[in-house]
Structure 1
Amino acid sequence: MEKTDLDEFHGAMGALGDVKPLAPKQRESALKKDTADPLNQRARREAATAQTYRELNPLGGEYVEPVEPHDPIEFKRDGVQNGVYRNLRLGKYTIDARLDLHHHTVDMARSALYQFVRDCMEADVRCALVTHGKGEGRKTPAMLKSCVNAWLPQLPEVLAFHSAQKQHGGLGATYVLLRKSERKRQQNLEQHQRRTRP
């Protein structure tokens, strides 16, 4: 007769000698204790929340390429015209929304930046300013600046970004150019069609 996994398990437990099965009441109370433990429930709830957050917020990457406090940060997606990017770099666009990340932890900043970009898309904001600071004189210099530099390209709504001009925060802030929302693109298309009709 062939040995099953259960037979092998029982054999191993019997070989230990001092292993005894729990009485039915003990098993029941052990189960209740585990699920009633508030720390256990909180840990499960936090794990579920963290998983949901990771699914909702794509910004990630444990390693972030460090940026020096006095280095500019910049990014331009393919298809963005050079003239548009130059105007962004020179601070010529109206800033329609601002986000200040001072006094944020990295996790707080990640969440705030992601939500900010989503809110900007909802409000049809095309140019925004993110203030992150230069991060001078810190143990990990330019941490938030480095994170912003790493996170913004991960968002498909971001067409380009560049360190700001002095009057807007200089190297401690970044201009962000966002794509048009679907609603705005539709409005522009309708306006263009009205203009071209005879």
Structure 2
Amino acid sequence: MNQPLRDDVDFRALVGEVKPLPSGNRADTGKKHSTPSEAQLARREWAEEDHAESNFLSDDFVELIPPFDPMQYSRNGIQQEVLDRLRHGGYSVQAQLHLLRRPLTECRRQLFPFIQEAYAHDLRSVMIIHGRGKEIDSPANVLRSYLAKWLAQFDEVQAYTSAQPSEGGLGATWVMLKKSERAKADNRERQQKRRG
């Protein structure tokens, strides 16, 4: 008799006959099912609605960015100081989206609501973690290239730039969103209160 077969026979002899536990005789794992928060309910509702039609991000051909080139973009009117501060991590990360090792179609599907929700919640600086490949046609570099194209398609995006090495380097991108109308109104109100 070979060793694995003998071990199996010894184990069966030691354990004996095994029967499954009745369904009412199971251990309580201590997990309590809490009710979802308002934010979770809102996200579920939004996800259940058909937003695929409103996703305008193009999945057409994209010019690939060389893997060691940083990404940078800003709309007209954005001061260089703001872009430099963004690049150097001068703003706090208010939200992050992790797209590492995900299919391109899933990244497109996740990016759209992420930017829309961030803008709706008056977030200004967000980070997208996407990775970076060493070859120009690596999946991570293809995603980087599409991300550069997609972010420029959002009216809400004022600027984006590759992160510093300590924050993910070329595998992460800082995104600056414009102020929502609500945030602008709040800012005007604060300014008027200060002036008296």
TM-score (norm 1): 0.69
Task: Please report the TM-score for the alignment, with normalisation by the length of structure 2.
Answer: 0.70
Task: Report deviation, 1:77.
Answer: 0.4
How many angstroms apart in 2 are the aligned matches of 1:66 and 1:148?
Answer: 11
Post-superposition offset of 1:139: 5.2
Report the Cα distance in structure 2 between the residues aligned to 1:89 and 1:103, rounded to whole angstroms: 24
What is the CA-CA distance between 1:140 and the residue it aligns to?
A: 3.6
SS in 1 for 2:123: coil
CA-CA distance at 1:138 after TM superposition: 7.9
Matches within 5 A, 1:21-170: 53=52, 55-136=53-134, 140=138, 142-170=141-169
Percent identity of the aligned residues? 38
CA distance in 2 between counterparts of 1:181 and 1:133 reads 29
Structure 1 unmatched ranges of 5 or more: 1-50
Q: Name the CA distance, whole Å, in 1 between partners of 2:122 and 2:137.
A: 38
Q: Please state how far the C-alpha of 1:76 moved relative to its aligned partner.
A: 0.6
- Residue in structure 2 matched with residue 15 of structure 1 by the alignment: none
Q: C-alpha deviations, 1:102-137, integer Å up to 9, x for none?
A: 121111101111111011112211101101110235
Letter in 2 for 1:173: A
What's 2:26 paired with?
Answer: none
Question: Which residue number in structure 1 is paired with residue 177 of structure 2?
Answer: 178
| Counterpart Cα distance in 1 of 2:168 and 2:189 | 38
Deviations 1:6-62 (A, max 9, x none): xxxxxxxxxxxxxxxxxxxxxxxxxxxxxxxxxxxxxxxxxxxxx962x40111041
**CA offsets 1:154-190 (integer angstroms, 9 cap, x no match):** 0000000000001110000000000112211110011
Instruction: Provide closer, same or farther for how the CA distance between residues 191 and 112 of structure 1 changes in structure 2, counting only shifts above 3 A.
Output: same
Give how far 1:79 is off: 1.0
Q: Flag the 1:176–1:114 CA change in 2: closer, same or farther, 3 A.
A: same
Q: Note if contact 1:135-1:144 (Cα within 8 Å) is conserved in structure 2.
A: no
Larger radius of gyration: 1
Q: One-letter code of the match for 1:190?
A: E
Distance 1:191 1:116, change over 3 A: same
Q: Which amino acid aligns with 1:159?
A: Q
**Whole-Å separation in 1 of the counterparts to 2:146 and 2:69:** 14
Distance 1:147 1:127 in 2: 20
Deviations 1:76-120 (A, max 9, x none): 101111111110111111111101101211111011111110111
**8 Å Cα contact 1:124/1:181 also seen in 2:** yes
Matched, 1:195 2:176: no
* Aligned equivalent of 2:44: none
SS in 2 for 1:104: coil
Q: What is the root-mean-square deviation in Å for CA atoms of aligned residues?
A: 1.7
Q: Which consecutive unaligned segments of at least 5 residues does structure 2 have?
A: 1-49
Matched position secondary structure for 2:147: helix
Q: Distance in 2 between matches of 1:164 and 1:139?
A: 21
